[in-house]
Amino acid sequence: MLNVFAFIFSEFMDVFSKSISISIRNDLWYHYIMKKRGDSMIYLDNAATTKPNEDVIQTYTQMNQQYFYNPNSPHSAGIKIAHLLDKARENIKQYLNLKDPFNIIFTSGATESNNIALQGMAKAKKRFGNTILTTKMEHPSVLETMRGLEDEGFNLKYIKTTKDGKLDILSLQELLNDDVVLVTCMHVNNVMGQIQPIEEISRILKGYPKVHFHVDGVQGYGKVPLDINLADSYSLSAHKFHGLKGSGILAIKQIKSIKQIIFGGGQEQGLRSGTVNAPVNIALAKAMRIMNDDMEDNAQALSQRGKEIRAFVEQYKGVLINSPIDAAPYILNISFPGVKGEVLVNAFSKFEIYLSTTSACSSKKSSQNETLKAMGLSNLVIEGSIRISLAPDLTNEQIERYKDAFDKVYKEVKELIKYEL
């Protein structure tokens, strides 16, 4: 049917070509093809980024048109936008159910939030201790920051990971002592979806009052419930919950004791100098409100879709499911041992189905994924892994098309699959 419409459209354009300039004709053809591609595309890489909500885009546009002022300017227009930002902060605290003394710092995203929290608190607490703890399953913005602190003289120790991808509580307890000042752990793993035991970690750390507990909440917010008040700081990126890229937050308790790592005009209570991007920050608050309003419906849809896709994949001999059964249902990591993950991504792309190998922040690196290595998976399994990450608006028709494409890809590569590992 698409080919028929394309032919008719092409004929139509040829008939009227004499009265329409070449540039206009090309623009019309381009928009026609892009619309059809948008209708046919199946996007399964939502752990990398999500499609911005139309209302969020509208809010951002209106803010840029009507309230483009610098919130640090002393005139009435600057003061007005500063008040709007303060209101956005209060709303965000409500959406996250945060109690005092949490403060909201606007950032460019969770990478910056993680850097501010981890570097700032480690350096502020160095006179009390020199040991910092994390796992090898963290996002690169956490792992590389912690390794950077190690280069500066901190004693970095890794908490062990269980085979199902959870932080090993016994290992944490063995590593804790009076020299530990910082512990960081993500809420939901971005590679295979495991939900980390944040509540239990927080309970244990109450016996170590010097320790700052940071949680990277990027993949969990709005989908997996969490009492964020259990952490001392918490990071988010708006583009992971249908907001805009280039915006995020750091929610932090001990704001007066943290050491600043960015210097300049002293914006964001001295922690994040630079002109505050009011339009994108207010759009972030709008995205959070929408996410909160739809939270129950989204959770139900994601659970249903995730279970359906998981059950479907389980039918295929040789294809392994790396995501534990108790992981978040919207992130599914699977492996075709013996087939390169990049080959699988390209094979699905031919059907206009877009998924990923691992984290988008590290998928182009040649080194193997540290999360899957920490789970004890073999090199063959890791190299053949891909990640499917869902959005709540995935339709039944799209799922059926995905299943059909999966079956075709499987038949193409099944001779390469290594069944005995």
Co-location of 315 and 248 in the same domain: no
Mean of all residue pLDDT scores within the chain: 90
Is the pLDDT assigned to residue 411 strictly greater than 80? yes
pLDDT range class, residue 31, cuts 50, 70, 90:
very low
Beta strands in 53-130 (DSSP E): 103-107
Is the pLDDT assigned to residue 5 strictly greater than 50? no
**pTM score, two decimals?**
0.88
Is the pLDDT assigned to residue 36 strictly greater than 60? no
Question: Is residue 179 domain-resident?
Answer: yes
Q: Residue 342: how many CA atoms within 13 Å on its side-chain side?
A: 6
Q: Give the domain-ending residue among 258, 293, 328.
A: 293
58: containing domain: 54-293
* For residues 41-61, average pLDDT: 97
CA–CA gap between residue 256 and residue 367 (Å, rounded): 39
For 183-209, write each residue's pLDDT tens digit.
999 999 999 999 999 999 999 999 999
- Tokens 């606007």 sit on residue: 106
Question: Which phi-psi region, left, alpha or beta, contains residue 265 (left: φ > 0; alpha: ψ -120 to 50)?
Answer: alpha
Look at residue 382 and give its three-state secondary structure: helix
pLDDT reported for residue 98: 97
Co-location of 235 and 358 in the same domain: no
CA–CA gap between residue 369 and residue 211 (Å, rounded): 28
| Structure tokens that stand for 197 in this block | 């035991």
Co-location of 72 and 176 in the same domain: yes
Q: Give the domain-ending residue among 237, 265, 293.
A: 293
Question: Is residue 24 domain-resident?
Answer: no
For 249-280, write each residue's pLDDT tens digit.
999 998 989 999 989 988 888 789 888 999 99
Co-location of 127 and 139 in the same domain: yes
Co-location of 223 and 270 in the same domain: yes
CA–CA gap between residue 301 and residue 391 (Å, rounded): 9
Is the pLDDT assigned to residue 13 strictly greater than 50? no
Q: Give the domain-ending residue among 293, 308, 338.
A: 293
pLDDT reported for residue 34: 40
For 73-86, write each residue's pLDDT tens digit.
999 999 999 999 99
Q: What is the DSSP string of 218-258?
A: TTTTTTS---GGGSSEEEEEGGGTT--TT-EEEEES-TTTS
Co-location of 281 and 331 in the same domain: no
Is the pLDDT assigned to residue 366 strictly greater than 90? no
* For residues 354-376, average pLDDT: 76
Co-location of 274 and 308 in the same domain: no
For 101-159, write each residue's pLDDT tens digit.
999 999 999 999 999 999 999 999 999 999 999 999 999 999 999 999 999 999 999 99
Co-location of 117 and 227 in the same domain: yes
Q: CB neighbours (10 Å) of residue 23? A: 8
Co-location of 82 and 115 in the same domain: yes
Catalytic residue numbers, as ranges: 361
Contact call for residues 215 and 198 (beta carbons, < 8 A): yes
pLDDT reported for residue 360: 52
Question: Is residue 77 domain-resident?
Answer: yes
Question: Is residue 389 domain-resident?
Answer: yes
Question: Is residue 185 domain-resident?
Answer: yes
CA–CA gap between residue 324 and residue 304 (Å, rounded): 16
Q: Domain tally for the chain?
A: 2
Contact call for residues 391 and 399 (beta carbons, < 8 A): no
* For residues 369-391, average pLDDT: 95
In the DSSP assignment, the letter for residue 174 is H
pLDDT reported for residue 100: 86
pLDDT range class, residue 39, cuts 50, 70, 90:
low
Contact call for residues 207 and 342 (beta carbons, < 8 A): no
CATH number of residue 328's parent domain: 3.90.1150.10
